[in-house]
């Protein structure tokens, strides 16, 4: 799974990607092409690099900004370097690109042998970033250029000059060729540097945290940066939420409408992606565990565009996730209110059955939000809900473990708060009470 495949995920990771201030288009491309990490050691190595970059951001911001300013000059010259490795003869534009990159790497103390590469492309030792086929490359070149200048109409001289230039391009290309691999590596390292510095700055600005890795997941004070930003525009604050889950123990989240269940699920999904792509997390603290496969099942507008009913699209999405679980890889499955668009009788049955179907799967961590009351052997979390004494005005978005799987009945209170037709809601209250008696 590449980063570009999850950047549009409905979890909203796009917000952090857009806010990431990369200095070069090439770094953006490299980031989008990154593969998701599944090995906790690899993830921890990435975090250790990010941690060092963060220390630099906090400790010496000026140096960081200077480095980032230089990185604006980074260009994607992978095509040129591939031609070089393939044995091609390069031209002046390509030599310029290589010299430019090598000098950039040298100023940032990156790469090895950069001084040798620069030496090949700077025969006069001028130490400037420009390039042309310098006269000093050969005595022949110098004399032919002088001859052409004094007699510009001599076709033979011009041809001789062109031949000498071509010969020199081949000589220079051959001299550079042994460094093709190290140049490729350095190019990639420069992009990585751009990315990690941008991540470290973002970590500082957004108040993000590096998690630790373990076998179960436990997050404290998580927030959704995109939702937090839009709340702040309205002068409100995001209430951080705690949550924990692990493989083999399904978890359901129940609670009032507008209680933040979906946002919590989106945040969990985003945290998982951020973790496995080596980004710092929007949490107070977190212990994370990597999965081979992350599945987020949530209805979106795409369903309508493809012509499937939301129910059909949802069922198929969950079905594919069940298949993935059966294959045996470690799967994180996040499902937002499954079967909510069908009738509650069948809906409840479908949800209860799904939980049974997926119980006893040690390779699966399942988190599901629902409005249905379903008993299961796993854990149940509940949105704290309306704060008592506020007449339904204030919501406590925190999630708490609960023994009862009975969904809270707060919909009517919330509807009243929304100013919905009072006669309608009173009537609903009466009908509900009659049913329960």
Q: State the residues that interact with another protein by CB under 8 A.
A: 24-25, 75, 91-93, 96-97, 100, 129-133, 145, 149
Q: What is the largest CA-CA distance in the chain?
A: 110
End-to-end CA distance of the chain: 53
Cα–Cα distance between 137 and 122 in angstroms, integer? Answer: 10
- 393 alpha-carbon distance from chain centroid: 36
Name the β-bridge partners of 209: 281
Query: In the complex with another protein, which residue's Cβ is closer, 130 or 156?
Result: 130
Provide the 8-state DSSP code for 246: B
Question: Which is closer to another protein, CB of 24 or CB of 370?
Answer: 24
CB of 84 to another protein, least distance (A): 16
Measure the CA dihedral 347/348/352/358, to 10°.
20
Using the structure block, give the residue that is written with the tokens 């990639």.
188
28/317 with CB nearer another protein: 28
Q: Note whether 217 and 289 are within 8 A (CB).
A: yes
**Looking at beta carbons only, is 121 or 210 nearer to another protein?**
121
Give the neighbor-by-neighbor strand order of the sheet with 217-222.
212-213, 285-288, 217-222, 241-245
3-class SS of residue 124? coil
| Cβ contact 183:80 at 8 Å | no
Question: Which residue has tokens 């691999």?
Answer: 181
Q: What is the rounded distance in angstroms from the CA atom of residue 300 to the CA atom of residue 10?
A: 8
Q: Round the CA-based radius of gyration of the chain to a whole number and report it.
A: 30
User: Closer to another protein at the Cβ: 150 or 343?
Assistant: 150
**Minimum CB–partner distance for residue 95 and another protein (Å):** 8
Shortest separation between residue 198's beta carbon and another protein, angstroms: 17
C-beta of 149 vs 301, nearer to another protein: 149
**Least Å distance between CB 113 and another protein?**
22
CB of 11 to another protein, least distance (A): 31
Task: Output 153 or 323, the one with its CB closest to another protein.
Answer: 153
- By beta-carbon proximity to another protein, the closer residue of 94 and 242 is 94
CB of 110 to another protein, least distance (A): 20
Nearer to another protein, 118 or 133 (CB): 133
DSSP 112: S
- DSSP labels, 355-419: HHHTTT-TTEEEEEE-SS----SSEEEEEEEEPTTTTT--EEEEEEEES--PPP--HHHHHHHTT
Q: Are 86 and 165 in contact (CB under 8 A)?
A: no
Q: Is 328 left (phi over 0), alpha (psi -120 to 50) or beta?
A: left
Give me the least distance between CB of 26 and another protein, in Å please.
8
Minimum CB separation of residue 7 from another protein in Å reads: 21
> What SS3 class is residue 223?
coil
Minimum CB distance to another protein, residue 294 (Å): 33
Distance in Å, CB of 202 to another protein, minimum: 23
Residue number with CB closer to another protein (134 or 311): 134
């Amino acid at each position: 799974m590449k980063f570009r495949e999850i950047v549009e995920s409905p979890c909203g990771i796009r917000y952090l990607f857009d806010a990431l201030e990369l200095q070069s288009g090439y770094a953006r491309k490299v980031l989008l092409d990154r593969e998701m990490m599944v090995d906790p050691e690899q993830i921890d190595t990435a975090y250790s690099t990010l941690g060092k970059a963060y220390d630099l951001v906090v400790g010496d911001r000026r140096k960081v900004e200077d480095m980032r300013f230089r990185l604006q000059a980074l260009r994607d010259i992978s095509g040129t370097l591939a031609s070089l490795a393939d044995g091609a003869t390069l031209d002046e534009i390509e030599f310029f690109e290589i010299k430019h990159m090598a000098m950039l790497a040298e100023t940032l103390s990156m790469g090895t042998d950069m001084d040798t590469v620069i030496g090949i492309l700077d025969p006069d030792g001028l130490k400037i970033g420009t390039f042309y086929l310098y006269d000093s490359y050969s005595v022949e070149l110098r004399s032919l250029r002088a001859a052409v200048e004094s007699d510009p109409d001599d076709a033979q001289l011009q041809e001789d000059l062109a031949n000498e230039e071509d010969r020199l391009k081949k000589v220079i290309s051959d001299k550079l060729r042994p460094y093709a691999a190290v140049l490729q590596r350095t190019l990639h390292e420069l992009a990585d540097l751009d990315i990690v510095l941008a991540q470290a700055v973002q970590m500082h600005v957004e108040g993000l945290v590096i998690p630790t890795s373990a076998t179960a997941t436990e997050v404290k004070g998580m927030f959704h940066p995109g939702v937090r930003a839009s709340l702040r525009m309205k002068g409100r604050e995001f209430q951080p939420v705690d949550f924990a889950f692990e493989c083999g123990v399904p978890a359901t989240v129940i609670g009032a409408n507008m209680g933040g269940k979906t946002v919590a699920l989106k945040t969990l999904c985003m945290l998982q992606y951020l973790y496995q792509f080596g980004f710092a997390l929007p949490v107070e603290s977190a212990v994370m565990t990597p999965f081979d496969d992350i599945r987020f099942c949530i209805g979106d507008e795409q369903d309508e565009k493809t012509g499937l009913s939301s129910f059909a699209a949802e069922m198929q999405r969950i079905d594919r996730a069940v298949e993935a679980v059966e294959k045996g890889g470690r799967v994180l499955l996040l499902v937002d209110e499954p079967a909510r668009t069908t009738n509650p009788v069948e809906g409840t049955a479908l949800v209860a059955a799904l939980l049974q179907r997926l119980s006893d799967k040690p390779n699966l961590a399942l988190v599901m939000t629902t409005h249905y009351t379903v008993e299961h052997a796993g854990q149940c979390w509940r949105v704290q809900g309306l704060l008592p004494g506020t007449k339904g005005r204030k919501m406590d978005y925190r999630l708490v473990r609960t023994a009862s799987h009975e969904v809270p009945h707060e919909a009517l209170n919330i509807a009243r708060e929304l100013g919905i037709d009072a006669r309608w809601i009173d009537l609903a209250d009466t009908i509900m009470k009659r049913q329960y008696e």
